[in-house]
Amino acid sequence: MKVFKIVLLIIGTIMVTGFFIYIASAKDNKVYEVHIDEFNYIIGTQTVGSKYKFTDETMLVETAKQIRSMGSNLLKFSMTSRYCGENYGLPKNDKITSLTKLAQLEPSVKAVLNMDFKYYHIWAYGFSQYTPEREAEKVDTNQIKFINGYPDKYANALYEELYDFASYLLTTYNNSGKVFYLGNWEGDWHLRWNYNINAPVDPKTLEGMLKWGKVRQNAIDNAKRDVKHINVELYNYIEVNQVMIGLNESKKCVTNEIVNKVNPDYVSYSAYDATNPFKTEEALNTNLKRALDYIEGHLSPKPGLPEGKRVWIGEYGNPARIYNEEMQDSRSRWTIKAGLEWGTPFILYWELYNNEINKTTGEHGGYWLIDNEGVKKKIWHTHNSFYSEAKEFLKDYFEEYGELPEISTFQQEAVRFDALNTE
C-alpha cells in the first residue's frame, strides 16, 4: 500500500509538472507570436482621400481594416480639419476644434487609433491654423500660416495644440506598445506653395517654415518630457519631396534649409523625384540611394532615438494610368529593394485605394493596391506575400537564436525574399 501511494505521488508529480510545463509553453508561444506581430516589417501603405469604398463602414475604418487584413501592422492616415471633407467624408462635428478632440470625439478616428496597429504615421495639422474652405475646395495654404512669415499667435496656438495632442497620445496609449510618428505632408510644396520649383524661395516663407518646424518638434519633445509614460513612443518627423533639386542643382529646399536646422527625430521622403523618372532598376536604385544619403547627411546626431537610419520613404507609387499592372508591381519592388538595401526604417506605398481621378475623363489615376472594382493588384499580393515570408523568417530566427533579429539583420534578409524577386 505504501509503495502504491509513492507510485501515485510520483505519477501525480509528473502530471502536475507536465501541466505547468504545458501552460508555460503555451504562454511563451503567445508572447512570441505577439512579438512577431509587433515587429517592424518596414513596408506598408496609407489611406487618404480615397475615391471609392465597398462597405457600409466609414472610409477610414474600411481602409484601416483592409490594411490590417493585408498583413500590415502600420497605419498612415491624416488628422486635420479636413476629416469631414475629401480626406474621409466623416460627419462634421462642431465640438471637434482640435487634434485632441478629433481623437476623442470622432468615432472612426478613435476606432482606428484603438485598433491593433503597432505603428502610426499621422499627418497632424492643427485646427488652430486652419482657414475654412468652401465645399470641394482644397488649398494647402489653408492648413499652414507661415506663408510670408509665421505670426506668434499662430505659432503659440500650434504649440499648445500639438503639445496637448502629444500628451493625450502618451497618456491614453500608455503601456500599449504603440509607436506614433506625427508629421506633415510634402513639405517642399509648403515651402513652394505655388508649386514652382524653378522660382526662388521666398525668404520670409522660409523663415516662417523654419519657425513652424521648430514649434512642432518642441511641442512633442516637451510633452514627452512632462508626461510620465512607459511602453509607448512618440516622434516628430518632417516630410520632404523635392530633394533632387537640392542634390543636383544646389537649389534651396526643405532638406537643406529646414531639416538641417530643426534636426527632427525623423525625415519622411515622398520619393517620386528619385524613383519615377528612371526607367531601369539600376538607375532607380542608384538615384534613390543618393537622395536618401543626401537627406541623412543633413541630420545631426540626436540622443534618445532608436539605433538606425532616420530617413524613410513615406511615399512612392507607380500609377496605372502610366504603367501596366506587371510594371507597376516590378517598379514598386525595385523601390522596396533599394530602400531595404539602404537601411530605411519604412517604405510606404501610395496608396491602398486610388485618390486621383481625371476631372475631365473620370479615369482613375491608379495609385492603388486595390482598384475601384475591388480587385487586389499584383502589388497588393507582393505586400501580402512579403508579410508571410517575414513572419516565417522571424519564427525560424527565433527558434534558432531564442530572440528576434535586429532590424538591420531583417533588412538584409528581406531583400532576398521571394516576394521581391524581380528576375
pLDDT in tens, 94-152: 999 999 999 999 999 999 999 999 999 999 999 999 999 887 788 888 999 999 999 99
- Evaluate whether residue 16 is within a structural domain: no
Rounded distance between C-alpha atoms, residue 344 and residue 346, angstroms: 6
Q: Is 6 exposed, middle or buried (0-12, 13-18, 19+ CB in 10 A)?
A: exposed
pLDDT value at position 29? 66
Q: Containing domain of residue 133, as a range?
A: 43-420
- Evaluate whether residue 383 is within a structural domain: yes
pLDDT in tens, 326-366: 999 999 999 999 999 999 999 999 999 999 999 999 999 99
- Evaluate whether residue 324 is within a structural domain: yes
pLDDT in tens, 52-69: 999 999 999 999 999 999
pLDDT band at 291 (very low <50, low <70, confident <90, very high): very high
**Arithmetic mean of pLDDT over the chain:** 93
- Evaluate whether residue 219 is within a structural domain: yes
| Alpha-helix residue ranges (DSSP H) falling in 199-314 | 203-226, 244-249, 254, 260-262, 272-275, 281-296
- Evaluate whether residue 25 is within a structural domain: no
Mean pLDDT of 231-260: 98
Residues 184, 190 contacting (CB under 8 angstroms): yes
- Evaluate whether residue 12 is within a structural domain: no
Sort residue 342 into left (φ over 0), alpha (ψ -120 to 50) or beta: alpha
Rounded distance between C-alpha atoms, residue 169 and residue 180, angstroms: 8
- Evaluate whether residue 86 is within a structural domain: yes
Nearest of 345, 420, 315, 344 to residue 378 by alpha carbon: 420
Structurally, how many domains does the chain consist of?
A: 1
pLDDT in tens, 164-200: 999 999 999 999 999 999 999 999 999 999 999 999 9
**Taking 50 as the threshold, does the pLDDT of residue 12 lie above it?**
no
Mean pLDDT of 6-17: 39
Nearest of 423, 297, 415 to residue 43 by alpha carbon: 415
pLDDT value at position 196? 96
Q: Does pTM surpass 0.85?
A: yes
Rounded distance between C-alpha atoms, residue 45 and residue 246, angstroms: 27
Q: Which residues sit opposite 347 in a β-bridge?
A: 43, 313
Rounded distance between C-alpha atoms, residue 102 and residue 123, angstroms: 13
- Worst-scoring range by mean pLDDT, 15-24, 125-134, 402-411, 412-421? 15-24
Mean pLDDT of 274-283: 97
Rounded distance between C-alpha atoms, residue 350 and residue 366, angstroms: 10
Q: Which residues sit opposite 268 in a β-bridge?
A: 239, 312
Residue 85 sits in a domain whose CATH number is 3.20.20.80
**Taking 90 as the threshold, does the pLDDT of residue 320 lie above it?**
yes
**Taking 80 as the threshold, does the pLDDT of residue 228 lie above it?**
yes
- Evaluate whether residue 29 is within a structural domain: no
Mean pLDDT of 266-278: 98
